[in-house]
Each structure stands twice: as C-alpha cells, then as structure tokens.
Amino acid sequence: MSATVDKALVIGGGFSGMSAAIQLRKAGVNVDLVEIDSGWRSYGAGITIGGPALRAFRTIGVLDQMMKLGALTDGVDLFTAQGHTIAQLPTPRSAGNDVPGTGGIMRPVLAKILADATRASGTQVRLGCTFTGISHTSDHVAVTFSDGSRGTYDLVIGADGLNSATRKALFPDAPTPRYTGQGVWRAVAPRDGVERAGMAYGKRTKTGYNPVSASEMYLFVTEDRPTNTRTPDQELLPRLRALLEEFTFPVIRKIADHLGADSLICYRPLESLLMPRPWSRGRVVLIGDAIHATTPHLAAGAGIGIEDAIVLAEEVRSATQVDAALQAFERRRWERCRMVVENSARLGEIEAQAGDQQEHGRIMRESMMALSAPI
Ligand SMILES: Cc1cc2nc3c(=O)[nH]c(=O)nc-3n(C[C@H](O)[C@H](O)[C@H](O)COP(=O)(O)OP(=O)(O)OC[C@H]3O[C@@H](n4cnc5c(N)ncnc54)[C@H](O)[C@@H]3O)c2cc1C
C-alpha cells in the first residue's frame, strides 16, 4: 500500500488514464478520474497491440478479455506491393510463452474492457467533466472542476492525450505537437481466413492488415501528405481505393473490393510530440500521449502509455516521498519512450522519401527487440 499517496486524481480516461486508475487502486490509493467526453467514446478503428502491450495487459489483469474479444497471432508477413514475400518479422512472446507475440482489437472494444475494469477497481469516474484550475503546494494539489466541485489530492496525473490541457497548464512553454507529413487511413473488413498480420510496401505508400477478432481484420494505409489537410467525407472511399491500387495481391484486392459506402473508413493526420524532461511539476505528473505521442510505425503508442501507468503505480507504492516516486518514474520511462517516438518518426521519414529499406528493417527489428525487454 502507498505510504505517500492517499488520494489521486486522473485527468483523462483514455488507455493511459484508465490503466493508471486501475493500478493505483491496487496500491490502495483512492482515485477520482475525470473524462471530458460525456459518452467516454473511442473511435471505430482497429489497433495493433504488440507483445509488450499484451504483457502490460496481463499485469493490469485484462489479458483474458483481450484474448477473448480481440485476435492474437504470431509474426508479421512483409510483402512487396505485388505480394512477393520479403521476410517475416518475428514478434517475441513478451507476455509469456502461452500468449502469442502480437494482436489486434477494435478500439471501442478495448476501451470498454478497460472502462469496465476501471469502474470495477472502485475508481470514482466522472464523465463530461474536466479541471478548471490546478494549484499546488508542497503537500497537496487543489483542483477545481467544470461541474463546480473542488478536490484536494496528494497526486494528480495528466493523461489527457496529445493536446493535453494539463500539460498546457503546467508547462506553458512545452513543445506543441508536430505534423509529420504523413496520415493514416484505416478501415474494417472481413477476416476471410487471414491468419496473421501483414504489411506491404509500395513506392511511397505502405499498407497492412491485422486481425481484430475471430471474424474481422483492419486495414491501414500510410499516406505521404506534405500538408495537414482534411479529407471531406464523400472523398474518403474513392481516395482510399486509389491509394490501394498499386497493391495487386489477393488479400489487399479483396479488402479493396469489399470497401463500400457503408465501410467504417477513417483518416488521421500523424502528429508527434516528445516532451523534454521534467514530466512533472510538484505533485502533478503527465503520462501517455500527453508527453510522448508517437506515430504508429511501431504500433507501440498505446502500449508505452499503459506501461507508464504500471511503472508510476509501482513507484508510488514503493516510495516514501512523492517527488522521489515521480523522479524514479521518469528515469525508468524516458529512454524507452524517446526510442519509440524517435524511431517511429525515422521510419515515417524513410517511407515518405522512399528511403533505405535496409535501414527501415533494421530499425523495426531493433526497436521490437528493445521493447520486448522488461520495463
Ligand atoms: C492513426 C493512429 C494509429 C495508431 N495506431 C496505434 C496502434 O496500432 N497501436 C498502438 O499501440 N498505438 C497506436 N496509436 C497510438 C495510440 O492511439 C495512442 O498512443 C494512445 O491512444 C494514447 O492514449 P492516451 O490515453 O495517452 O491518450 P488519449 O487516447 O488521447 O486519451 C486521452 C483521454 O483524455 C480525454 N481528455 C482530453 N482532454 C481532457 C481534459 N481536458 N479533461 C479530461 N479529459 C480529457 C480524452 O477525451 C481521452 O479520453 C495510433 C495513433 C494514431 C494517431
């Protein structure tokens, strides 16, 4: 049980914030969580969950649900745009020999698994609510909320994502997210016998697919787009189809043929942010995308946010002083998170410039091995 933190506030109910609430409850901390979205929604796209994230889910206690409602597989097939095999990327079984090395799940399904676990942990969840003011002294943090209430906490965790209001309040001079020159398309399609994830490299476009359940998989396409422009809804389908044209092998052709007016298609610009240390001020600490928002080239963004939550709770449980816990948290997390953000950005550059495929492969392999190391 934590000797230093009796009551904590988590701002933001995404994957990182929910995981922090669950793990802090295990350390005996009373936790309030405020989430600005009154519907606690997650958008309808698939997400790849690598072995290290599966290991984190095992620690949190939701791996069984993930295995039941998502899809777990081993290895990723790499192809040319014509479907010739380049290699198979190994996916180390980081979560244990009994758990495949990688997986996929629909975001709303994963969000519900974690939301149920958050509520079951005894966390007091308030939806449609955010903070309006934070002031800290050396021994507590006073917070005012948008519903007119107030609270006093031993620790506040800002897990409010890429455009974090907590980061802006705490570190007004912090860097802001940077558009990387790429965007990602995603769509859902029938799994149709596909056994494991695959990726194919076109001239300047990459596509891939990953099972997300027993019956479905998701498609992703990385597009080189120098300026951050929006795609009108009516153009989503024709533009995605056009991007897929250079990929001529059966799995991708079948997905392209399946796409229609009812398909769940989304496009997201890719932004990146690595906040320099420190990641905390007084008794307020930031975790997840609020400090290290990565492009998805290593499919590790959600995983490192969830790991932040685990490490933070471990340090809060064992430390005798809050500042010592926050410093230890940062020391354990910095190098790993820096590596993910910077290596992912480099992979994106190589893809956008049709650069060195060997360097791309080397960075992928080295990063995945580094991520499989214990946290
Ligand atoms: C296109 C794309 C594809 C990706 N694919 C993958 C992938 O395959 N695998 C992977 O591991 N990662 C992937 N990622 C990264 C991953 O989605 C993020 O790293 C992860 O969702 C971050 O979780 P988070 O909880 O830190 O932040 P968020 O998911 O942004 O959650 C923040 C939460 O805080 C809430 N909030 C915001 N402001 C406030 C406020 N002021 N007060 C209260 N609440 C607030 C939000 O509503 C939200 O619920 C991808 C990212 C992108 C952009």
pLDDT tens, per residue, the chain with 375 residues? 777 899 999 999 999 999 999 999 999 999 999 999 999 999 889 999 999 999 999 999 999 999 999 999 999 999 999 999 998 988 999 999 999 999 999 999 999 999 999 999 999 999 999 999 999 888 999 999 999 999 999 999 999 999 999 999 999 999 999 999 999 999 999 999 999 999 999 988 899 999 999 999 999 999 988 899 999 999 999 999 999 999 999 999 999 999 999 998 999 999 999 999 999 999 999 999 999 999 999 999 999 999 999 999 999 999 999 999 999 999 999 999 999 999 999 999 998 888 888 898 899 989 999 999 999
State residue 147's pLDDT score.
Answer: 97
C-beta of 296 in contact with ligand 1 (< 6 A): yes
Atom of ligand 1 nearest to the CA of 47: 8
C-beta of 48 in contact with ligand 1 (< 6 A): yes
Beta-bridged to residue 189, according to DSSP, are 217
Ligand 1 centre from 161 Cα, in Å?
5
Ligand 1 centre from 15 Cα, in Å?
7
Beta-bridged to residue 197, according to DSSP, are 76
Contact call for residues 121 and 61 (beta carbons, < 8 A): no
C-beta of 202 in contact with ligand 1 (< 6 A): no
Contact call for residues 42 and 108 (beta carbons, < 8 A): yes
Which token pair is 242?
Answer: 């056009």
C-beta of 37 in contact with ligand 1 (< 6 A): yes
State residue 180's pLDDT score.
Answer: 93
Ligand 1 centre from 136 Cα, in Å?
26
- The single-letter DSSP state of residue 36 is S
DSSP 230-244: PPPHHHHHHHHHHHH
Beta-bridged to residue 343, according to DSSP, are none
Rounded CA-CA distance 285/53 in Å is 22
Ligand 1 centre from 125 Cα, in Å?
18
Which token pair is 139?
Answer: 């021994």
Ligand 1 centre from 73 Cα, in Å?
24
Q: Which of 278, 314, 279, 280 is nearest to 5 (CA)?
A: 314
Could you count the other beta carbons within 10 Å of the beta carbon of residue 221? 22
State residue 351's pLDDT score.
Answer: 86
C-beta of 16 in contact with ligand 1 (< 6 A): yes
Which token pair is 291?
Answer: 């400090």
Q: Which of 253, 111, 103 is nearest to 189 (CA)?
A: 253
Mutation test of ligand 1: which of 289, 295, 312, 344 has the most ligand atoms closer than 8 Å to its C-beta? 289
